[in-house]
Amino acid sequence: MPYQDLFILFWEQVKESVQEGRFAKLTMAKTIGKPNLRNIFVRPVYSEDGFKVLVKFRYRSRETEDEEEEYRLEEAFIVLKPYLRESFSSVLLFTTTKDVIFKINKKGAGSITEKPPTFHNVTQASNDAE
């Protein structure tokens, strides 16, 4: 299955984990090549405006400051999607019931695997910029 279609199925699991209060963290990892961007982390933020996520871009270079921005979940999907296969080959969803790993192989095919949970509690992100 093309990775784009499978990523949509993966994102459905992200949305479901949020709706059920099980979403702990999402990490884009396994960089392609040696880009300055090292990881993208997504953490939950519960506010008066409803559920949002804090998206943090972490860079390798000390000269490049990490960037953080809050988004609604739908907006985060749009922000993260262009980094698939361009910058990262895997996305890890950590929930309180399971870890879900989305990977793209060199031929562009996607796969989803599940593992026991790394996190047992949801920890809300704190925005360092505030």
Nearest to 39 by CA among 101, 102, 87: 87
23-37: b (≥16 Cβ within 10 Å) or e: bbbbbbeebeeeeeb
Query: What's the pTM?
Result: 0.88
Give the type of residue at 77: F
Mean pLDDT over the full length of the chain: 90
The confidence score (pLDDT) of residue 129 equals: 41
pLDDT higher at 46 or 87: 87
Between the CA of residue 8 and those of 110, 112, 122, what are the distances in Å? 11, 11, 23
Residues 80 and 37: their CA atoms lie apart, in Å, by 13
* Partners of residue 91 on adjacent β-strands: 28, 102
Is the model's pLDDT at 130 over the cut of 70? no
The confidence score (pLDDT) of residue 4 equals: 86
* Partners of residue 26 on adjacent β-strands: 42, 93
Domain boundaries, the chain: 3-115
